[in-house]
Structure 1
Amino acid sequence: MLLETRALTANYGQFRALFGVDVTVDAGECVAIIGANGAGKSTLMRSITGVLRNEPGMVLHRGESIGALSSAEVMKRGIAMVPEGRRLFPSLTVEENLLIGGQMRKAPGPWNLAAIYDLFPILRERRRNPGTALSGGQQQMVAIGRALMSNPELLLCDEISLGLAPVVIRDIYAALPKIREGGAAIVVVEQDIGKALAVADRVYCMMEGHVTLAAKAGDVTREAIHAAYFGEAA
């Protein structure tokens, strides 16, 4: 088991956002986290990556507690996130944004500038452009590439299709199998159920900070997803 959360809770001040969340990710697999706005999906990602601190035993990486580590320490262990909203450095070029990711972890792996440019050829053409001068889809490619430059063994993708055109979403999702071929496990946080299920081995549905469904992606029914997503009978 690569990653595990155990009865994970998370708070924003006095507001509790996660209630006893149990999620597992095995090495090399793709796990989808689905749910509506406010379900707790992004909070789960922030908790795993150390942006929100937790009790030490609530998040485990390869059996070792990482719940109290900082985000920098978590990334050095091989867990990288593509954040919602991309969050590129506006003063840096595309290539400089990518190189920032490579500074965080020195583990050997398949990802370097040449590999990122092969994965997303348009970035090679735009490598001297300011990162935020690109289209939304191209910026998302930079954000994915920046995370991959650390050669993570676990890549967390938070709402990578949000606000993008269908043709761009298709291209980004087409890259996910290639990323898995490099050895990384992937967690995809999505509101688009069809996209998530198409690439995932397993799926979790969240609602109001709780996990309401955990199943193999190929076995889950539309009725079960409807009930878990909306908290009502299909």
Structure 2
Amino acid sequence: MTDEKPLLEISCLTAGYGDFKALFGVDLHLRAGETVAIIGANGAGKTTLMRAITGIVRTASGAIRLDGEKIDMLPAPEVLLRGIAMVPEGRRLFPSLSVEENLLIGGHARRGDGRWNLNAVYELFPVLKERRSDPGTALSGGQQQMVAIGRALMSNPHVLLCDEISLGLAPVVIRDIYAAIPKIKASGASIIVVEQDIGQALKIADRVYCMMEGRMTLEGRPENLSREAIHDAYFGVSA
């Protein structure tokens, strides 16, 4: 990677829920065209970080910049319009809507005439075209995850945040879901993937961050990180 200015830059970020702080001085950057993975155990602060980036969780201090512009005080709908979309943990589809209607909701915040529309999502996940008239929650877990990813892509984001997209899925389904990541990246989106599965994260990421107890404990390219260093950062083992 070159030293160009980051597309997304997080500096000294502190955030939480009321009096409870979940993030402490977090730094992270994402370059255009890059896939970054964030690994860490349950309770490490990964989901809170994703929610802070999207404006769902208010920040206490620090800064979040997109293309050099501070966005940390913007409400969530405005962050989406600026080009950051999230695939939330748990998918959160609308049970009363069909697959296609769930996808179209993502298009309500559509930015320009970008790559992603219904046809492009159906090309990425052909099974969704076959099931487009079915209720979204009538699908298998993996297919519901495809809908959640497609819904986020319908806004044509600059940055796609994927929060635990493999959670609860069978290995063969996880493989199919992750096979879409390079195609999404090739469309021009930059991606942050939150994962508990270290092996999966290392396979798809240009760079990896590790979080523990609301702090970044490790950052680097997968090929430069030893198993021992990752294990220590993940579990908090002192050198």
Q: Name the structure 1 match of 2:99.
A: 94
Q: Name the structure 2 match of 1:205.
A: 210
Q: Using the TM superposition, give the Cα deviation of residue 55 of structure 1 relative to its aligned residue in structure 2, in angstroms.
A: 5.1
Which of 115, 120, 127 is the equivalent residue of 1:122?
Answer: 127
Q: Which runs of 5+ in 1 are unaligned?
A: none
CA contact (8 A) 1:56 1:66 kept: no
Q: Name the structure 2 match of 1:33.
A: 38
Question: CA distance change for structure 1 residues 208 and 132 in 2, over 3 Å: closer, same or farther?
Answer: same
Say whether residues 1:165 and 2:206 are aligned partners. Answer: no
Q: Name the structure 2 match of 1:150.
A: 155
- List, as ranges, runs of 4+ consecutive aligned residues in structure 1 with deviation greater than 4 Å: none
Distance in 2 (CA, whole Å) between partners of 1:25 and 1:54 is 19
Q: Name the structure 1 match of 2:138.
A: 133
Distance in 2 (CA, whole Å) between partners of 1:69 and 1:61 is 12
SS at structure 2 position matched to 1:103: helix
Q: Using the TM superposition, give the Cα deviation of residue 57 of structure 1 relative to its aligned residue in structure 2, in angstroms.
A: 5.3
Q: Using the TM superposition, give the Cα deviation of residue 50 of structure 1 relative to its aligned residue in structure 2, in angstroms.
A: 0.1
CA contact (8 A) 2:14 2:61 kept: no
Distance in 2 (CA, whole Å) between partners of 1:8 and 1:108 is 33
TM-score, with structure 2 as normaliser: 0.96
Say whether residues 1:23 and 2:28 are aligned partners. Answer: yes
- Over the aligned positions, Cα root-mean-square deviation in angstroms equals 1.1
SS at structure 2 position matched to 1:16: strand
- Identity score, percent: 70
Question: CA distance change for structure 1 residues 103 and 150 in 2, over 3 Å: closer, same or farther?
Answer: same
Kindly report which structure 2 residues correspond to 1:42-53, keeping only aligned pairs within 5 A, or say none. Answer: 42-53=47-58
Distance in 1 (CA, whole Å) between partners of 2:128 and 2:22 is 37
Q: Name the structure 2 match of 1:106.
A: 111
Distance in 2 (CA, whole Å) between partners of 1:106 and 1:60 is 19
Say whether residues 1:61 and 2:84 are aligned partners. Answer: no
SS at structure 2 position matched to 1:127: coil
CA contact (8 A) 1:18 1:40 kept: yes
Q: Using the TM superposition, give the Cα deviation of residue 184 of structure 1 relative to its aligned residue in structure 2, in angstroms.
A: 0.3
Kindly report which structure 2 residues correspond to 1:73-92, keeping only aligned pairs within 5 A, or say none. Answer: 73-92=78-97
CA contact (8 A) 2:34 2:191 kept: yes
Give a deviation string over 1:155-212, Cα, whole Å, max 9, x none.
0000000000111100000000000010000000000000011000001000000000
Q: Tell me the amino acid that sits aligned with residue 21 of structure 1.
A: V
Which of 191, 201, 206 is the equivalent residue of 2:196?
Answer: 191
- Of 202-211 and 213-222, deviating more is 213-222
Q: Which runs of 5+ in 2 are unaligned?
A: 1-5
CA contact (8 A) 2:111 2:157 kept: no
Say whether residues 1:216 and 2:228 are aligned partners. Answer: no
Q: Name the structure 2 match of 1:229.
A: 234
- Of 98-107 and 119-128, deviating more is 98-107
Q: Tell me the amino acid that sits aligned with residue 93 of structure 1.
A: S
